[in-house]
Structure 1
Amino acid sequence: MSDQSIHRTSGRKVGVLVMSYGTPESIEQVEAYYTHIRRGNPPSPEQLKDLTDRYEAIVGGVFPLRENTDKQVKALETKLNETYPHASFVCYQGLKHASPFIEDGVERMAADGITEAVGVVLAPHYSIMSVGGYIKRAQEKASELGLKMSFVRSYHLHPKLIEALAIRVEEALSRFEGADKDKVLVLFTAHSLPEKILEMKDPYPEQLLETSRAVAERAGIARWQFGWQSAGQTGVPWLGPDLLDVLRTVKQENRAEHVLVCPVGFVSDHLEVLYDLDIEAQHTARELGIHLERTRSLNTDPLYMETLSDVVYAQAFAEER
């Protein structure tokens, strides 16, 4: 940035709404959380027990999940202000299904006198059904309050994100002691969405494949494929193949005894990682006689914080570049 540009941006205060799916803060809040996900329809006793059991199966219950997001928001604010001292960044949290909700975050920015803000989602890949929904809710509230707000839509090929994920793949491959690393099958995964997004020409599936290809190339991986996980039980078809089905197919076709899962669609430890992968997928793998490992989550990894800092700053000062 030129000296003239720095002079123009000096003293600018920018709000940053960091959005994510959200988790309950305690076991007692699981029912309200689940009801919100179901658009106000309370879950059946069986559905509630299933979700509660999943949270209770995780070491520490729900608490580390919420704490992870809190730490990411704080770390991003620190990174932004360290990297770009000529401006002032204040980060706020906005959750899709828990308090503080997305609208709450926007209202707090306005109440604090923020007049311009950037929204970013803790998910690198864009879908109209996921990130698009976050943006729509935030934009509607910002417009209502007269807050100027722009958004980061995706950052799935940011070099620092790819580097962070590749480092994790290389690190995890070392856990397959005695195995030929070239014979380890790397499975990249992300949260499934309803199949109807394909009719909408949604970029989500292709962006995920682009990230997977880039990470595989960076890490020197020859054997990899993509699978979906954590599909909802909604009565409509969801994107597949599901990770558990992939594991069964791999075993049936005798294609791999060692599998590394790299959940590129997720950026922190939460239910879809700590339960769906570490407990459910591990259980299936053990039954099949497959050695399954997964890569460490990004959480507050410095490279991930730099990724977010880069894209937020670029969005905030796009007009001056």
Structure 2
Amino acid sequence: MSDATAPYDSFLLVSFGGPEGPDEVIPFLENVLRGKNVPRERMMEVAEHYQSFGGVSPINQQNRELIEAIRGEFDRSGIELPIYWGNRNWHPTLPETLRQMRDDGRRRALAFFTNMFSSYSGCRQYRENIAAAQEEVGEGAPVVEKVRFGFNHPGFIEASRERVRTALAELEGVSPEQVTILFTAHSIPMAMAANCDYEMQLRESCRLVADGVEAGPWRLVFQSRSGPPQQPWLEPDVCDAIRQGHAEGQLKALVIVPIGFVSDHMEVLYDLDEEAATLCRELGLPMRRAGAVGTHPEFVRMIGSLVLERLDPTGQRPALGELPAWHDVCPTNCCLYTPQRPSR
């Protein structure tokens, strides 16, 4: 029996990674930006964001908490797969983790990427990272296959709705119909967006979440762009949208929902809880930021559900809305993108 047809014997949480001390910030960011056309001054600006939080990104601890929640869900669901964790940019790195899996005798793993939407950086690049790690580990490196994206899975949608309802309830003295919902996601280059379903999936998730809560209008906006000014990225930026909406008299109160992120990591904390929140205070605009799905029980159950789908392909594949349950195996041309390289 080849490794590609062996039974699944492990689960791999694949994530971005983050520094856990001031001395790790620059090496981490250099890993993140290697091969990308991002000015060094922008990197140093982002480094200051991390240093303002003591040089510690919350993402690693949040992943540890998610792993514990997944372990409990696996126990409840009868899923007997040991859980591993590997990152793209910082320890534990994917090569370190795949080497450990090989040494533990693991041959074939199911992977969950801590991202709900298709794009080069959110899917294909992770698959390339895994392939590079397998090559580095060499003979015996486990086969790794991802579960489908859950952007329209009932568990993700209901977890997101509950986070929005909590934020709406915190806006005192404001009726729900007066509240505009701004859904935010990481901006990506237009050239990347043109070759994937990122925007379409995001808009479907936003619509499904908004349809299940009592509030006013909603809009999808973006945050955290990092490319050179001359390179077009998805817009509008969240702060630009707030300024414009306020100037036009369209905004009375806001709930900002980081729909494109599964945890309250650095980009959420800085771009939304610092920059967007400061802007809203300056404008006198009531605002609450909804939490990311994190370890919400419905989200964790969704992860278990996606694993069970692969363990028993004859079972149900739940999906809400107008788009089907997404594919498990990506087509060869899925999310193709050639990142711009630094000019010499």
Task: Tell me the residue number matched to 1:157.
Answer: 152
Task: Tell me the residue number matched to 2:123.
Answer: 131
Structure 1-normalised TM-score? 0.88
Q: Deviations over 1:15-69 (max 9, x none)?
A: 11111111112111011011111217899875454223212333x6515332111
Q: Among residues 76, 83, 90, which one is paired with 1:82 in the alignment?
A: 76
Q: Among residues 45, 48, 57, which one is paired with 2:52 in the alignment?
A: 57
Task: Tell me the residue number matched to 2:223.
Answer: 229
Whole-Å Cα distance in 2 between the matches of residues 220 and 181 of structure 1? 6
Whole-Å Cα distance in 2 between the matches of residues 192 and 102 of structure 1? 25
Q: Deviations over 1:242-263 (max 9, x none)?
A: 1011001111110012111011
Q: Please tell me the residue identity of whatever aligns with 1:136.
A: E
Q: Please tell me the residue identity of whatever aligns with 2:130.
A: A
Q: Is the 8 A contact 1:117 1:316 kept in 2?
A: no
Whole-Å Cα distance in 1 between the matches of residues 315 and 182 of structure 2? 41
Q: Is the 8 A contact 1:34 1:48 kept in 2?
A: yes
More displaced 10-residue stretch of structure 1: 14-23 or 136-145: 136-145
More displaced 10-residue stretch of structure 1: 118-127 or 220-229: 220-229
Structure 2-normalised TM-score? 0.82
Query: What are the equivalent positions in structure 2 for 1:13-162 lying under 5 Å apart?
Result: 14-39=9-34, 46-47=41-42, 49-58=44-53, 61-62=55-56, 64-84=58-78, 87-142=79-134, 144=138, 145=140, 147-162=142-157
Whole-Å Cα distance in 2 between the matches of residues 199 and 320 of structure 1? 33
Query: What are the equivalent positions in structure 2 for 1:171-210 lying under 5 Å apart?
Result: 171-200=166-195, 202-210=196-204
Q: Deviations over 1:297-319 (max 9, x none)?
A: 22212111111111122124437
Q: Which has the higher helix share?
A: 1
Displacement of 1:272 in angstroms is 1.1
Task: Tell me the residue number matched to 2:307.
Answer: 312
Q: Is the 8 A contact 1:150 1:316 kept in 2?
A: no
Greater relative CO, 1 or 2 (CA 8 Å, sep 6+): 2
Runs (5+) with no aligned partner, structure 1: 1-11
Q: Is the 8 A contact 1:74 1:91 kept in 2?
A: no
Displacement of 1:154 in angstroms is 0.8
Displacement of 1:75 in angstroms is 1.9
Structure 1 position 280 matched with structure 2 position 275: yes
Q: Deviations over 1:262-286 (max 9, x none)?
A: 1111111111111110001111222
Displacement of 1:225 in angstroms is 0.8
Matched residues, number: 306
Q: Please tell me the residue identity of whatever aligns with 1:23.
A: G
Displacement of 1:140 in angstroms is 5.0
Q: Among residues 208, 217, 225, which one is paired with 1:214 in the alignment?
A: 208
Q: Is the 8 A contact 1:31 1:42 kept in 2?
A: no
More displaced 10-residue stretch of structure 1: 41-50 or 179-188: 41-50
RMSD (Å), alpha carbons: 2.4
Distance 1:66 1:318, change over 3 A: same
Structure 1 position 244 matched with structure 2 position 239: yes
Q: Is the 8 A contact 1:13 1:90 kept in 2?
A: no
Whole-Å Cα distance in 1 between the matches of residues 299 and 194 of structure 2? 32
Displacement of 1:166 in angstroms is 0.6
Whole-Å Cα distance in 2 between the matches of residues 198 and 40 of structure 1? 19
Distance 1:293 1:267, change over 3 A: same
Q: Please tell me the residue identity of whatever aligns with 1:134.
A: Y
Whole-Å Cα distance in 2 between the matches of residues 320 and 48 of structure 1? 46
Task: Tell me the residue number matched to 1:9.
Answer: none
Q: Deviations over 1:101-152 (max 9, x none)?
A: 2232222212111122111101111113322211232245447535333212
